Structure 1
Amino acid sequence: MTHATNRVAAGIAAVTLLAVALTGCGGGASSADKGTASGTGDVASLTTPSAPASATPAGGAANGRPQLRLDTTDEEEQQLWETYKVCLHEHGVQKNEGRSAGVVGPGTGLSLDQSGEPKAAYVACADKLPLQPPELDREKNPNYASQWNDYVQCLRGHGMKIHSLPDASGWTYDDGVADPANGLEGPALSKVDKECTMEIFGAQK
């Protein structure tokens, strides 16, 4: 059984499509923005430690993109991702009719086609794609790998039967356990994830 942290799953899908779109335009998303997908057989993960997000003041990010931080709320994060998705839709990315709520706007649960087309939409909206917190960027955080392992151990400390995938690329549930999540689903899982993220990646190491 695999797992993708809820608060970053949508972001990973979005930045992966952006990377595809920019490949033909002389640019590309960094590895930290794209996240990773790895594993063998049916074991894979798109997980990075989730973090609440917040935009810096206008122009705060060097390239104009909103900068996510560890210390802001899920609601702020959702607003940023919805703004990005609405921009894509307005520039021609089609809705996934089977999953979208039908009303385009923040908080509506807008789901988009995952084909990466039209590429021009991803180029036009690139400045609205949130940047991951520096602490969660392995290229900016020299302690990322060790902190990732500590983060997984923190989740295990809450009873989750999980293990890290190679190269700190994600985590997946242990095999052969009756309740790998230890009853943690939805809001409860999100709360534990946030606590471990702040405890481990928010620490000064």
Structure 2
Amino acid sequence: MKPAAVHRVSLATSLAVGAFALAACGGDPAGRDTTMMSGAVPAASASATPKVAFDDADVMFAQMMITHHQEAIEMAELATARATYEETKELAEKIKSGQQPEIETLQGWLKEWGRTTPVSEAGHDAPAGVSDANVKTLLDSRGSAFDKEFLTMMIDHHEEAIAMARVERKHGKSSKAKKLADRIMKEQQAQVTQMKKLVARIP
């Protein structure tokens, strides 16, 4: 994860979470036409596309969570290579092994719904909610200081995912997307609790 690549997370995902909540309530923050984002299938392709119950909130949840998970995996890969504590490395591996299959599931749903899947670009984004100073601190950290910075950043990142999942639970229509949102809330909250305990033990 390069400093220049990580630079853009600071504000982007935090703003996106707010935009997600706003759009899920029925409005597009950019004032765009959301007709093609809705669950309605254009008449020309209606016969070729199976009817699936979903709405704009489901689409935004899938698109945003793919990007969010990719960010988490990028951070976790850095931790598996540089963390000092074995528990930090094990947690990073768990994040990678748990979130990659979810990315693939979300990509499959977007394809099924006839919606755009975010293009993955190596280093295209940085962990959400992290300032440039925090990013530099992480990349410059060594030893236990790295573990502490990584865990602090990942706690914030997980809490954003939980917030996104709550919006999906409230406004989504797809039962399978809502079920995944439930799982994300449960699993990532458990990891947040684990990370907070670990941070407290690091000198």
TM-score bin, normalised by smaller chain = under 0.3
| TM-score, normalised via structure 1 length | 0.26
| TM-score, normalised via structure 2 length | 0.26
Larger Cα-atom Rg: 2
Higher relative contact order (CA 8 A, sep 6+): 2
Q: Flag the structure with higher helix content.
A: 2
